[in-house]
Chains A and B, each alone.
Chain A
Amino acid sequence: MEMKSSFLLSIVTFGYFFSALFYLISLVLKKPGVGRIATWLLWAVFIIHTGAIILRWVESYQLGIGHAPLSNLYESLIFFAWTIALIYLWVEIKTSSRTIGVFATPFAFLAMAYASFSPNMNDRIQPLLPALQSNWLIAHVITCFLGYAAFAVSCSLSIMFLLKKPCPDKNKESKGLLSLFPEISVLDDLIYQTIIIGFLLLTLGIATGSIWAHSAWGTYWSWDPKETWSLITWLVYAALLHARMMKGWHGTRIAWLSIIGFACVLFTYFGVNFILSGLHSYGSA
């Protein structure tokens, strides 16, 4: 059965690509007009993306299956891209700077591209296995992926910070690309802001996951590799927050820790499925 949501999602994939491209062109050629197009395009793509997710949900009911589109790797990638766009748009509104888009929107495009073009990806709407039939699934997936997306944006900001840091603008008229980046202090603050959002949501994601595991298997924590890697991620960000709040770490060191933290996120999300094995085995689906 050909589905409308699949068609919309392929538009979304290209939409993120062009949006990322326009953000880049706007930065490199210093054309604010192109940047405005990038923002408008991103909003449009985000709305279509939202519609496509809702449509896929509706379609699953039409197929008589009926569950939220958050049940396998394909659907999680689609949702991950959506959360990255959401968090980035919030940052853009907050900072009114479009340069961050150059680094954040490619993550949304990559997640969509991976979902769409990977040969082993199962994009069919399938019914839920007994273990997945829980409302906690929705809470768990939404909180985890919003958290992951916040960490992705924080990682983009950290890369920008590290690029900008060694060459501070000697004068305001400096024409370098880096002069268009937000101020070092603004980037530093945004890295922190996005990390606390991510940390809060990751904690909520781990908690909802334990409640679910407790009702499905009778144990809230079983040291399964996915759980353990989410804890490792949590510990890295907890260390980062202590270093920043109690030791006054700022800037470069925090930016590196945030990149290491996001590497842990990526490993929790992908590495565990493809390299390790455990309860969260949707990678093989």
Chain B
Amino acid sequence: MTLKNPSKSIFSEVGDFFASVKLALVLLIVLAITSILGTVLPQGEPLAFYRRAYSQLSAQLITFFQLYDMYHSWWFQWLLFLLAVNLIVCSLKRFPTTWKVIKSPPRAISDSLFASLPFSQALHFSKNTFQDQASIDSLLGRQFGKPLPLSSSAGKAFYLEKGRFSRFGVYVVHLSVLIIFAGAIVGSLFGFKGFLELQEGASQDRIFIRGSQTMKKLDFSVKLDQFALSYYPNGMPKEYRSDLSIWEKGLKKETAVIRVNDPFTYKGITFYQSSWDQYPSSIRLSLQQGDLKKELVMQMDERTPIPDTPFALQAVRYINNLSNMGPALGVILFKDQEEVDHSWILANHPAFHGNRLANIRIKVLEVQTRYVSGLQVNQDPGIWFIWIGSSLMLLGFIITFYFSHQQVWVWIKEKKDHNGGEGIELLIGATAQKNRGALVLKMERLLAKVQK
């Protein structure tokens, strides 16, 4: 075992650890494996759910590791933080070297240079061929930019290169990941995700903040002027649409229509069509008990006495489709304040035998409904970080994957051919920062043409 360099401080060792590719690989794989957990385990349920569904030990583990919301758990955030540190330290550590390489002149011509290059080949030609830049350029198929003369101990030398900038590609990618992380942090610190339910005609200036029990007051109010939904001929939903207006200090400032995929932004706060519901308001029933027939108008959730009887009715629920039988009204019958019966009354099937409470037959004549529109209300000042980060990442990938810094050295020396005649030797060497195999193949193909 060799002794460690004593000048290497603990700091640089820690630095090396955080800069290492090994750490990056471990983090990427650990993130991939742990991410599976949250796709298998239901997320965001109340703790009681996990206590009921899992063993005591599992429920304790789920609570401790915050697996009920694992992507926001302390340890998952730590893994992401470590990845960010890894990206920053490795980029900072490597960048000066890259910068030096980019700024430095090409390596000087020598025999040892050609020996060290992944591709090098000697070609022999008769004298007076390949003397100038143009001929070198055409020899290499004009693939590497302009040949630049280099000084050499003997003969002439040229240097060609392309794709020097591609050495920056990896930093662009790493920076883009950090920008996306920054966007997520900015969004969670300075933004919010809220929810708002509005009845038609109602207005509101407070929204519920998701994931907490708090409300947030907006400095304007939103009114739902109208909600509309439309269907395709086959019954599939076609469009959910809310007509909104924005009010400030009693003045209408703006109107907007929002649909799914078509939100509206006011003062940096965006409203998305998220859900809808239908609440019955007024209900008209026909009641029949023996020969006695009556009509009753009542409001949802209000216990309404049936005139001239000891009975009272209360509608407690209305659903649009009960087991494919269409709309149904949940009704309770009271006698002298005591519940005596309850049932679903099918609105579209007046003859249905179950449409009765005790011995009273009930028909639904009319249910007036009012729409409620559910709006997602968000503010995310980090969103531009996300879009810029994503674009940079793609740009970085293209630079990293499809461009490589390729360098070619050509050394032309006079040399007697095997018959003792005058001739020249062309030493050609090349290297690439990435994908050297491809460069070697390319050089072989280029030079094979010349030799024929």
Give the B-binding residues of A (Cβ under 8 A).
Answer: 65, 126-127, 129-131, 133-134, 185, 189, 192, 196, 199-200, 203-204, 207, 210-212, 214-221, 223, 225, 228-229, 231-232, 235-236, 238-239, 242-243, 245-247, 264, 272, 276
Residue B7 interfacial (CB < 8 Å): no
Could you count the A-B residue pairs with CB atoms below 8 Å apart for me: how many are there?
111
How far is B22's CA from A199's CA once the two chains are assembled, in angstroms? 21
Residue B66 interfacial (CB < 8 Å): no
- The reply to whether B401 and A200 form a contact with Cβ atoms under 8 Å apart is yes
* 17 further interface pairs, Cβ-Cβ under 8 Å (given A196-B397, A242-B28): A65-B232, A127-B234, A129-B237, A185-B437, A189-B437, A196-B401, A210-B386, A211-B387, A217-B272, A225-B39, A228-B38, A231-B35, A236-B29, A238-B28, A239-B25, A246-B24, A247-B22
Q: Given A220-B383, A228-B38, A235-B35, verify A247-B21 contact (CB < 8 Å).
A: yes
Of B28, B39, B239, B383, the contact of A235 (CB 8 Å cutoff): B28
- The reply to whether A210 and B39 form a contact with Cβ atoms under 8 Å apart is no
- The reply to whether A223 and B21 form a contact with Cβ atoms under 8 Å apart is no
Residue B390 interfacial (CB < 8 Å): yes
Residue B274 interfacial (CB < 8 Å): yes
* Residues from chain A with Cβ under 8 Å of B48 in the complex: none
* Residues from chain B with Cβ under 8 Å of A211 in the complex: 387
How far is B435's CA from A272's CA once the two chains are assembled, in angstroms? 36
Q: Given A126-B236, A204-B394, verify A239-B32 contact (CB < 8 Å).
A: yes
Chain B positions 383-430 with a Cβ under 8 Å from a chain A Cβ:
383, 386-387, 390, 393-394, 397-398, 401-402
Main secondary structure of the interface of A (DSSP, over half): helix
How far is B38's CA from A276's CA once the two chains are assembled, in angstroms? 11
A251 to chain B, nearest CB (A): 12
* Residues from chain B with Cβ under 8 Å of A127 in the complex: 232, 234, 236, 238
Residue B381 interfacial (CB < 8 Å): no
Give the A-binding residues of B (Cβ under 8 A).
Answer: 21-22, 24-25, 28-29, 31-32, 35-36, 38-40, 43, 71, 184, 193, 232, 234, 236-240, 259-263, 270, 272-274, 376, 378, 383, 386-387, 390, 393-394, 397-398, 401-402, 434-435, 437-438
- The reply to whether B260 and A243 form a contact with Cβ atoms under 8 Å apart is no
A55 to chain B, nearest CB (A): 22
- The reply to whether A203 and B393 form a contact with Cβ atoms under 8 Å apart is yes
* Residues from chain B with Cβ under 8 Å of A238 in the complex: 28
How far is B234's CA from A246's CA once the two chains are assembled, in angstroms? 56
B332 to chain A, nearest CB (A): 35
How far is B30's CA from A238's CA once the two chains are assembled, in angstroms? 12
